A and B are shown apart, each in its own frame.
Chain A
Amino acid sequence: MSAIATKYEVVVGLEVHAQVLTQSKMFCGCSTDYLTAPPNANTCPVCLGLPGSLPVINRRAVEATIRTALALNCEIPEFSKFDRKNYFYPDLPKGYQISQYDLPFSRRGHLDFDVRGAPCRCGITRVHLEEDTGKLLHEGAIHEAQSSLVNFNRSGVPLMEIVSEPDLRSADEAREYVMRLRAILQYIGVNNGDMESGQLRCDANVSLRPAGSSELGTKVEVKNMNSFRAIHRAIEYEVVRQTEVLDSGGRLTQETRGWNDARGLTVSQRTKEFAEDYRYFPEPDLPPLDVSRHWVEEIRAGLPELPAARRERFVAAYGLTPYDASLLTSTRPMAEFFEETVRLGGPAKASANWILGDFSRLLNADHKEIQESSIKPTHLQQLLHLVETGGLSGKMAKQTFDAMYHAPDPAPALAEAKGSSQISGDAELAGLVDQVIAENAKSVADFKAGKEQALKFLIGQAMKLSRGRANPQRLDALLREKIV
């Protein structure tokens, strides 16, 4: 890669589509639940584009878009409007998509992130709002299918498009950018970050240019990347492919290519030599919007602590490394898990290590998010306490965590660990008992005189010496044996 990097500069811009978490669709009252509802159950004349139906703007979706734009440091113009993007496709029931063309809700922002500790900034061109399409289901492979079905449950679901400037210079930067962006969207509660189900989708515009040049090369749009890994691999693949074309004296064509994850390569989908003409024009069914400054400030005031701020706070307050803090704040649930564990008494450094180490490893293997695990902060904190108090070896702790993770309820595994860390063996306890008897002659005498209370005191002393690990029942028995 480094040899290539010296010859050509990689230029990447990303277009991220994020479904807005609203109860109802963008322009009608239908539910946005399209994943679990039966096909076409959540539809109405508006989202089916029936003749005569008219759209009505969902204010919450607009609010979420402005919220996102503010979190990305964008300007919010006072005047905005919707436009029609015209094209024919069976998943597009009106023959046009209501989108935003020249006056989006926001423009000119930026997103800060870092790649292995080095700070990066990527410009945000715009964040705009549009409606999602329906979904086609083909009978077999698309080119051979004898019939296709359309499910319009997704039609009209609000979709934000977040367009970056071509500021990214490597697959690493692109991946980090999307990770950070995803975290922000989750933090501010506008998107669930699910890439696999397509609720967060990413297209990349990739081009190369001779190092030192300021002109942009021919760009290739890469689609169908539904994981961070896919984004990284697809861009790396494109860089190598485009380098080979250029090195062999060839010319690149402006085209759209699809990432095939299984085969690990991009495949040409359509060339853009004949640029598609979407015939944008202002949506006459929706009056333009005045975005009041008061409303914008209200939305700004409601923004939660964003990942960058939280990361700095983690470094300052908990003494974490910037790298660990960065990882911990990459998702809001993970950051909250960490803070809750610490609040319950877990040591910060150890909590971070466990979350980023074993816990993340297990979650990744299962493609699960931290909030989906049965392990809650209290469980981790209790486990850490057992380790800290010395009763549980590192090896035992790992085994316990593994058991906790795989059980639907972590409590039994935790209890077992507590049990196993108890000193019950008479041989080990004998020494403790001898020491207590030797050091507390008065109490021993009292007990002999019939004061039951004195025995309780002696057991307490033994527990203290064992740092809570001795089995109190066995202590009781041994003390009675030895004193009498």
Chain B
Amino acid sequence: MKLFHRTIRDLHQMLRDREISSVELTQSVLDQIQAVGDRTKAYLLVTKELALRQAHAADERLRSKRDVRPLTGIPIALKDVLCVKEVASTAGSKILKGFTPPYSATVVERLEAEGAVFLGKTNCDEFAMGSSNENSGYWPVHNPWGLDRVPGGSSGGSAAAVASGEAIAALGSDTGGSIRQPAALTGIVGLKPTYGRVSRYGLIAFASSLDQIGPMTRDVVDSALLLQAIAGHDPRDSTSSPKPVPDYLATLGDGVKGMRLGVPKEYFVAGMEPAVEQSIRDAIRLLEQQGASIEEVSLPHSDVALPAYYIIAPAEASSNLARYDGVRYGYQAEGARNLIEEYMLTRQQGFGAEVKRRIMLGTYALSSGYYDAYYLQAQKVRTLIIDDFKRAFTKVDALLGATSPTVAFPLGAKTQDPVAMYLNDIITIPANLGNVCAISVPCGLADGLPVGLQVIAPGFREDLALRIAFAFEAATEFHKAQSPLMGAAA
């Protein structure tokens, strides 16, 4: 077993025991990036020098036993939507090519304070808009489980990096499933915290009322460790919650005995692959065997979550992306004869097709005369979805379902059909609209490709989601399955 195969918790112990150094560990991961990086295309930028510098500093901390934290010396990948001071941060878009922010995101600062090592910026769908990573402004990412398959999106680069050994863990962002769906499709653990649990300061915005940053890891313990490091109130983000952050590890092993778990009937959607459904049914049975009582519940407005999402998210995006006008930073088109032309050429050339599609959708939804029919209506639907969850959580402690209705699909399979692509997120979107948290945990393989079980818990009950996911993981071996790319090096 090579160092890059291991989990944060294992490596932390080895680093503490001085069995290995952070530089060795970092070098091991960098070597794996070197070995498989051109096959996964997971990274947009590898910050080798920064990583080694941070690894040396971490080793110094470990040597002097000064302020050693669970992430000290651990190599982590950052989705390109996160701002890192003086490091190119482009949100996977050509319009931000060459942009190096003069400041770091709050989560980045928190990881720095922990002594983590930054491997680089991972590829993603442009401005996190997509479910396959094929909307990257640079190049698509390939799934380490089958290079002709998509890794999911939008945090496909982070998912592929963790699944291929090109990172020990990664941060992603989830607006409608962008952490959970790629985690499911690459056989790793992905957690979308409750809106407000993790600061968004320095996260290049897609849809401000839905975006959350979260951990993408090899197992549930690592997920808890990484969440612990990034969660908590931030005075620079007014939407971050002042609620105290619990000790996630403390309750992780408490099991599901006596817990009531609901299975929303609406989550077994039309078009769900039978093998996926079978894996999920098996997983639910396994939790029942662990002592949880399972009952069917209904989230009656699930069918309108997707349309509501495709109003709210593009509406906010149309405004959030207005700043990319070529005036101050990033890409600027040449040859414009006047201001309006400069705006138009810059945005025509700088944005990809999907981003333009959503800007147009959102602009339309906010236009005078249409606002009430679209944006306002979608907000009302959002309230109904919030109420659906509230009602369900009076009966059950948490909800179970698939993360994605399908396994990883071939590259190019859905690029011509935006709606088919949007349907990938049909079971992940409600958690974003409903202000709850959700985790995807590996629950088997279907035709050799990973399937993810989604556990949805009430708002700010990440402890509960993690605990259920851990109970499942502890009783199974699914999370130990390695992608061919990672396993090949073993």
Contacts and interface: CB of A to CB of B under 8 A. Distances in A.
A57 interface: yes
Nearest 10 pairs of A and B residues by beta carbon: A95-B322, A284-B208, A279-B366, A284-B209, A51-B204, A52-B202, A52-B83, A95-B323, A52-B204, A277-B368
A86 B323 CA distance: 10
A285 interface: yes
Interface in B300-337: 315-316, 318-319, 321-323, 325, 327-329
Contacts of A253: none
A45 B103 contact: yes
B325 A281 contact: no
A88 B343 contact: yes
A272 B318 CA distance: 24
Interface stretch (B230-238, B291-299, B467-475): B230-238
B205 interface: yes
A52 B328 contact: no
B139 interface: no
Interface string A248-288: 00000000000000000000000000010101110011110
B348 interface: no
B236 A277 contact: no
A456 to B, nearest CB: 75
A440 interface: no
B123 interface: no
A5 to B, nearest CB: 36
Interface residues of B, number: 44
A199 to B, nearest CB: 25
A281 B343 contact: no
A77 interface: no
Contact of A56 (B209, B235, B367): B235
A95 B101 CA distance: 18
Contacts of A281: 315-316, 319, 366, 371, 375
Contacts of A84: 319
Contact of B201 (A48, A54, A277): A54
Interface in A14-67: 45, 48-57
A396 B202 CA distance: 70
A50 B101 contact: yes
Interface string B188-229: 000000000000111111011100000000000000000000
B238 A287 contact: yes
Interface residues on A, range: 20 to 34
Interface of B: 81-83, 89, 91, 96, 99, 101-103, 105, 200-205, 207-209, 235-239, 315-316, 318-319, 321-323, 325, 327-329, 339, 343, 363, 366-368, 371, 375
A48 B339 CA distance: 19
Contact of A57 (B83, B236, B238): B238
A88 B325 contact: yes
Given A51-B89, A284-B209, 18 more contacts: A45-B101, A45-B102, A45-B103, A49-B323, A50-B102, A51-B323, A52-B201, A52-B202, A55-B238, A88-B322, A96-B322, A277-B368, A279-B363, A280-B366, A281-B316, A281-B319, A284-B208, A285-B208
Contacts of B327: 90, 93, 150
Contacts of A280: 366
A94 interface: yes
Given A50-B103, A277-B367, A279-B367, A96 B239 contact: no
Contacts of B316: 281, 284
Nearest to A87: B322
Contact of B205 (A45, A52, A90, A287): A52
Of A53, A54, A57, A275, chain B has the most CB atoms within 10 Å of the CB of A54
Contact of A90 (B236, B319, B339, B366): B339
A54 B371 contact: no
B312 to A, nearest CB: 9
A96 B343 CA distance: 15
Contacts of B99: 51
A62 B321 CA distance: 27
12 contacts: A45-B101, A51-B204, A52-B202, A53-B201, A54-B236, A54-B238, A95-B322, A275-B368, A280-B366, A284-B208, A284-B209, A286-B238
Given A50-B329, A51-B89, A279-B366, A285 B319 contact: no
Given A86-B366, A287-B239, A51 B325 contact: no
Contacts of A51: 83, 89, 91, 96, 99, 101, 204-205, 323
Contacts of A150: 327-328
Contacts of B323: 49, 51, 93-95
A287 B204 CA distance: 19
A48 B91 contact: no
A49 B325 CA distance: 12
Of A50, A277, A279, chain B has the most CB atoms within 10 Å of the CB of A279
Contact of B319 (A45, A95, A277, A287): A95
A86 B319 contact: yes
Nearest to B362: A279
Contacts of A286: 238-239
A279 B103 contact: no
A285 B237 CA distance: 8
Interface in A96-118: 96
Contact of A94 (B101, B203, B318, B322): B322
A96 B83 CA distance: 21
Of A56, A95, A277, chain B has the most CB atoms within 10 Å of the CB of A95
Contacts of B236: 54, 56
A94 B24 CA distance: 43
Contacts of B205: 51-52
Nearest to B196: A287
Given A86-B366, A95-B325, A281-B371, A54 B200 contact: yes
Contacts of B367: 277, 279
B319 A93 contact: no
